[in-house]
Amino acid sequence: MSNGVLEVSNDNFESEVVNSEKPVLVDFWAEWCGPCKQIAPVVEEIADEHSDRLKVCKMDVDANRETAVQFGIRSIPTLLIFKNGEVAGAQIGAVSKQQLLEFIQAEI
C-alpha cells in the first residue's frame, strides 16, 4: 500500500476521517473483492498525487463491519468523500482514474 493511503478502522475512523480538516476519500474494500483490487492502484496514485488537498483512507469492511453498516455500505468497492465530517458524495464500483478524479473534483 502507498505511503499516502492510511488504513482506518472502527477505532480511529472518527479521529482520522470525521474530524479531519482536509476532505477525505475513504475506499471501503475487502481482500476477496476483485474490483477492489482493480481500483487499489488508482486510489494509491491519487493519494500520492493529491496529498496536499485530500486525505485518502482505506477501510476493510470485513474487519470493520460496524462502520460499514453505519454508512450503508452494501456493495464494494464504495468510495465516499467526507467533507467537514459529513458524506459529500459516493462512487460505487471500480472506475478509471479519470472518472475518480472527476468525482473527487465535483465533491471537494
Catalytic sites, residue numbers: 33, 36
- Cell numbers representing residue 5 in the block: 493511503
Quick one: DSSP state of residue 36?
A: H
Dist CA 98 CA 87 (whole Å): 21
Q: Please give the backbone phi and psi of residue 44, each rounded to the nearest 5 degrees, phi first.
A: -65, -40
Give SS3 for 97.
Answer: helix
